[in-house]
Amino acid sequence: MYKKIIVFEGVDGTGKSYHINQVAKFLKSKKIKFIKFREPGGSSNSEIIRKIILKNNSSLSKESDLLLYLAARKENYDKLIKPNLKKKIILIDRFVDSTLAYQHYGFNINEKKIKYLNNFVIGNLKADYTFLHILPHKLLAKRIGGKKNKYDNYSKKFYEKVQNGFIKILGKNKHKMIIKADLTKKFNEEKIINQIKKLLKIK
Ligand code: TYD
């Protein structure tokens, strides 16, 4: 059985959270053990950190944000990932690649420093499979709106940089699937569930 880490990545508003929930429902229907959480957030301490980071009028610097994302990840590693590793499937809504895409490609924080800190927090642990949700450039701005948190105030240009970052990071990774978020939810859901079946070797 494939008891690995499956991550859902992509810029805001691309339907990642919908698809991770559909995968969770599917695994439940098959009685396959899994845990599911989001980053930032997840463990109870990480959910507290999430509120601090995403507060609309937050005046934290981009470096402070980075350290908080990693603090939240460390809590998830200790409390959710480590105890379940190789015991259950671990589904995560955003993980390491989000930190590189947003904090490096979006906010220009040095990539090596981010990788060093990430290694300090989770060692060499990596996602085993990633579903990367992308949007055509002309739809990026439309989908983003809504102002749920401070990131919803950033420009289309920012999201282009972040999305291009995701594409660069995952470009050569064979263990990924690109999900075109402008196609229908139903089509993408079928594609994702079929891939999950393949990974798990089930029908
Ligand atoms: P959230 O509302 O969870 O976004 P979504 O539902 O679209 O996934 O907000 C999480 C925000 O945090 C999102 O804008 C991306 C950002 N983020 C980073 O900048 N770095 C990180 O390492 C992580 C995990 C998230």
Tens digit of each residue's pLDDT (9 = 90 or more) over 41-70: 999 999 999 999 998 888 999 999 999 999
pLDDT at 141 (0 to 100): 74
pLDDT at 155 (0 to 100): 80
The distance in angstroms from the start CA to the end CA of the chain is 13
The CATH class that applies to domain 5-200 reads: alpha beta
The pLDDT tens digits for 146-187 are 556 666 667 888 999 999 999 999 999 999 999 999 999 999
Ligand 1: residue whose CA is nearest its atom 4: 12
- Rounded-to-integer distance, Cα 45 and Cα 43, Å: 6
Ligand 1: residue whose CA is nearest its atom 14: 151
Q: Is the peptide bond before 136 cis (omega within 30 degrees of 0)?
A: no
pLDDT at 149 (0 to 100): 66
Positive/negative CA dihedral, 20, 33, 172, 104: positive
- The arithmetic mean of pLDDT across residues 74-101, rounded, is 98
Q: Which of 19, 49, 98, 114 to mutate to test the pocket of ligand 1 (most atoms within 8 A of CB)?
A: 98
Place 114 in a pLDDT band, splitting at 50, 70 and 90.
Answer: very high
- For residue 47, report the distance from its CA to the centre of ligand 1, in Å: 12
> Closest ligand 1 atom, CA of 95?
24
Spatial contact of 11 and 162, defined as CB atoms under 8 Å apart? yes
